[in-house]
């Protein structure tokens, strides 16, 4: 029988990411900030989309505190961080995006260590 991870044990009866509430410390960014997704390598696994790397976005909300997927995949759950909901302009993500849709956006969540001030 496979034993459960520390993370699974911690989340039992509370839920994930609720079990990490108040563990990430102060958020580095706030709603309305302009940030850039850093160009970092992903060696094993990440939820940070390749198409968003190097692109600027606007923080729309602080979503939750949790370990990043890269850490959680290895059961390294001792360093939760903030996740932010970001809005990107489609034309910033894909320069060939049609000009007649200038207000189209996409929104996604990104962990704090992937972000820098723009």
Per-residue pLDDT at 15: 67
User: pTM to 2 decimals?
Assistant: 0.87
Segments forming the whole domain that contains residue 110: 6-117
Query: Is residue 1 included in any domain, yes or no?
Result: no
If you count DSSP H runs as helices and E runs as strands, how many of each does the chain have, helices first?
3, 5
Q: Given phi > 0 = left and psi -120 to 50 = alpha, else beta, which region is 71?
A: alpha
Number of domains in the chain: 1
Rg, C-alpha atoms of the chain: 16
Per-residue pLDDT at 4: 58
Query: Is residue 43 included in any domain, yes or no?
Result: yes
Residues lower than pLDDT 70 in the chain: 1-7, 15
Query: Is residue 96 included in any domain, yes or no?
Result: yes
Query: Is residue 52 included in any domain, yes or no?
Result: yes
User: Taking the alpha carbons of 41, 43, 52, 47 in that order, is the dihedral positive or negative?
Assistant: negative
Query: Is residue 50 included in any domain, yes or no?
Result: yes
**Residue 53's CATH number:** 2.30.30.50
Per-residue pLDDT at 3: 58
């Amino acid at each position: 029988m496979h034993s459960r991870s520390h993370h699974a044990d911690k989340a039992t009866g509370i839920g994930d990411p609720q079990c990490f509430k108040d563990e990430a410390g102060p958020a580095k960014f706030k709603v309305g900030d302009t940030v850039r997704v850093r160009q970092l390598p992903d060696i094993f696994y990440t939820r940070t989309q390749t198409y968003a790397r190097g692109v600027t976005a606007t923080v729309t909300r602080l979503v939750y505190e949790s370990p990043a997927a890269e850490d959680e995949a290895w059961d390294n759950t001792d360093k939760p961080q903030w996740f932010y909901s970001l809005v990107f302009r489609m034309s910033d993500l894909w320069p060939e995006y049609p000009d007649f849709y200038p207000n189209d956006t996409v929104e996604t969540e990104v962990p704090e260590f992937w972000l820098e001030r723009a």
